[in-house]
Chains A and B, each alone.
Chain A
Amino acid sequence: MIELIINGAPQQFPTPLTAALLIERLMLTGKRVAIELNGEIVPRSQFNETLLNNGDSLEIVVAVGGG
């Protein structure tokens, strides 16, 4: 069991997983999102190789209306 802090809220996952798998689990597949992992940008091209570990903190963002 690992715990990730996603957009400020803790979430548990049974096993360590990649950023790509996380996107799938969160039902964000096909959505245009960007990820910051522990303060660093994770390029989309590296989602498959990026392994998330217990205690990692992620920000997952989208573009929304704004002025």
Chain B
Amino acid sequence: MENLIIAGKTYSSRLLVGTGKYQDFDQTRRAIETSGAEIVTVAIRRTNIGQNAGEPSLLDSVPPSKYTYLPNTAGCYSADDAIRTLRLARELLDGHDLVKLEVLGDPQTLYPNVVETLKAAEILVKDGFKVMVYTSDDPIIARQLENIGCVAIMPLASLIGSGMGILNPWNLQIIIENAKVPVIVDAGVGTASDAAIAMELGCDGVLMNTAIAGANNPVLMASAMKKAVEAGREAFLAGRMAKKLYSASPSSPTTGLIGK
């Protein structure tokens, strides 16, 4: 399959995965390995002072030497908090500048606050960050984020953690048609067919966490998602047949039938 290019770097997997909500780090490691993902999101949080000396860390199970870390701003409700978080992340990860910006607007829905997102994107891009940005499926906001200089537009398919699937394929299609940077569906995928639908629409990739971590068997779901993303991409590239109510064109020859 042809490669995904984000901010000039080439990736062979179009599945991006989160590292949260797993039972333990071993399950995290096995699921992510199975998914074939090369880009993994991580969160930045206050260290638990004095309570975790010697405790295993995510960095041991999902080493940044093996995966491209995508530090996120999950849980940030203002541009300012998101910017501070990503500056800390850049320092934490030795100058790593590929980041996932998300500024939330509401703890109930985790719906993005696009006004704060636009503000933060502008400052982060000027500050040298390569910003992959989580946003609503509003095509105009997507275009504005691209114009600011974001390296990937990541519209939601449905609400974070909802598993509701692709609720507005038409908006996603408009975003995909207009964008010159990769469009990655982020949030809302619940099962393999959702990922395949996103890819069939022409998305450049899919980012998910709960769909894998929240499955009864996360490692098996990671395998399913890998295949779904690949299958959806191939179907998109192959170009599907037209939908017709009747074809009147059987797949088998109409001549040479016996007994005629």
- The residues of A with any CB-CB pair to B shorter than 8 Å are 6-9, 26-28, 31-36, 39, 41-44, 59-67
Interface contact A65-B59, CB-CB below 8 Å: no
Q: Are B49 and A65 in contact (CB under 8 A)?
A: no
B88–A6 touching, CB < 8 Å: no
Cβ–Cβ < 8 Å partners of B93 in chain A: 63
A63 to B228, CA, bound (A): 29
What is the bound-complex CA distance between A34 and B91, given in angstroms?
6
B171-198: contact bitstring with A at CB < 8 Å (1 yes, 0 no)?
Answer: 0000000000000000000000000000
Q: What's the Cα separation between A51 and B22 when bound, in Å? A: 39
Besides the known contacts A44-B91, A65-B58, 10 further A-B residue pairs in the complex with CB atoms under 8 A apart: A28-B49, A31-B47, A41-B91, A61-B88, A64-B20, A65-B19, A65-B42, A65-B43, A67-B72, A67-B161
Residue B41 at the A interface, CB < 8 A? yes
Q: Would you call B92 and A33 a contact (CB within 8 A)?
A: yes
Contact with A along B22-65 (1 / 0, CB 8 A): 10000010000000000001111111011001000111000000
B41 proximity list for chain A (CB < 8 A): 66-67
Shortest CB–CB separation between residue B29 and chain A, in angstroms? 11
What residues of A have a CB within 8 angstroms of the CB of B158 in the complex?
none
- B170 to nearest A CB, angstroms? 26
